[in-house]
């Protein structure tokens, strides 16, 4: 019989963790990943988990005003708090969990995983709120929230002004493909304490119009329909940040860049909507 870890969406979840680790995006327990199961995934999971006893109901640590009632009864995969991305493929059953939300969307129980104990990521509230916003605006397409600590992106938050327009333009200007890959630009959250309600609310507000949100001096949040696209966003933004930092490190003042006219031409050629407010 198939094991839970043989299910395609579980294999993809594990694969993203291994790629992220290989990229150096996850020192120690840095970063976290959540996946919202489709109805077909739930059916497949139920078939392989038949007869397994769920864990007790636990608070998601969401206060009433930030609960996710739209996700009542929904199932999620989430990395465990304090768990290392490096160990996800090596020791899946202790590194992440399949969780079910209750009928209020404010409590969860573990259906599989975290065998040695533990809780889903400390950013579970943020992930669920981001997913709820993206679910609404994408008509149920967005399923993955990926948070990592890529070094160049974090470095960039010390030298680039921390507003959406400056950060978006700085990233777009590094590589022509950037405005095609994240045409809605990036949202920026100035430094805040991670893991709490405030940062979850702030991030999910920005997720309404962005798929990439920068946490100053901390890392990046990406939202996508697939694991590949979530990693694609993370890698693209980190590479753009690397180019930005390389240009800065050269000590030379840039003598050229992409012009507003150029961005409009890219939008036309690739049929993407590039907001005028960023040009
Ligand atoms: P967790 O180990 O709780 O997922 O926290 C890691 C992290 O990156 C917090 O922002
Ligand atoms: Zn983090």
What does the pLDDT look like over 54-112, one tens digit per residue?
999 999 876 666 779 999 999 999 999 999 999 999 999 999 999 999 999 999 999 99
34 Cβ closer than 6 Å to some ligand 1 atom:
no
122 Cβ closer than 6 Å to some ligand 1 atom:
yes
29 Cβ closer than 6 Å to some ligand 1 atom:
yes
Which pLDDT belongs to residue 196?
81
Which pLDDT belongs to residue 158?
98
Which pLDDT belongs to residue 278?
94
- Regions in the chain scoring below 50 on pLDDT: none
Which pLDDT belongs to residue 182?
98
Which pLDDT belongs to residue 64?
64
> In angstroms, what is the span from residue 31 Cα to ligand 2's centroid?
5
**Nearest atom in ligand 1 to 29's CA:** 2
Q: Provide the β-strand partners of residue 212.
A: 186, 222
Catalytic residues: 123
For the purposes of burial, counting CB atoms within 10 Å of the CB of 151, is it exposed (0-12), middle (13-18) or buried (19 or more)? middle
Which pLDDT belongs to residue 169?
97
> In angstroms, what is the span from residue 28 Cα to ligand 1's centroid?
10
pTM over 0.95: yes
CATH number of 4-271: 3.40.225.10
Cβ count near 163 (within 10 Å) = 11
* Structural contact between residues 176 and 258, judged by C-beta atoms closer than 8 angstroms: yes
Which pLDDT belongs to residue 65?
65
Which pLDDT belongs to residue 63?
62
Cβ count near 270 (within 10 Å) = 13
């Amino acid at each position: 019989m198939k094991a839970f870890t043989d299910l395609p969406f579980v294999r993809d979840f594990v694969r993203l963790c291994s790629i992220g680790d290989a990229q150096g995006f996850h020192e120690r327990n840095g970063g976290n990943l959540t996946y919202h199961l489709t109805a077909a995934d739930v059916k497949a999971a139920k078939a392989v988990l038949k007869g397994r006893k769920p864990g007790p109901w636990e608070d998601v640590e969401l206060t009433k005003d930030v609960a996710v009632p739209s996700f009542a009864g929904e199932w999620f995969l989430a990395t465990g708090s304090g768990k290392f991305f490096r160990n996800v493929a090596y020791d899946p059953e202790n590194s992440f969990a399949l969780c079910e939300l209750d009928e209020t969307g404010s409590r969860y129980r573990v259906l599989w995983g975290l065998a040695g104990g533990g809780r889903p990521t400390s950013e579970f509230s943020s992930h669920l709120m981001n997913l709820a916003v993206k679910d609404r605006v994408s008509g149920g397409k967005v399923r993955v929230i990926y948070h990592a600590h890529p070094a160049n992106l974090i470095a960039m938050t010390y030298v680039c002004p921390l507003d959406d327009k400056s950060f978006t333009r700085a990233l777009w200007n590094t590589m022509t493909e950037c405005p095609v890959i994240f045409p809605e630009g990036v949202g920026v959250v100035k430094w805040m304490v991670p893991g709490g309600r405030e940062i979850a609310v702030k991030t999910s507000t920005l997720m309404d119009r962005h798929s990439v949100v920068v946490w100053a001096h901390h890392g990046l949040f990406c939202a996508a329909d697939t694991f590949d696209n979530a990693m694609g966003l993370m890698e693209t933004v980190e590479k753009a940040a690397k180019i930005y930092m390389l240009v800065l490190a050269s000590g030379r003042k840039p003598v050229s860049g992409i012009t507003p006219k150029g961005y409009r031409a890219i939008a036309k050629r690739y049929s993407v909507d590039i907001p005028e407010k960023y040009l």
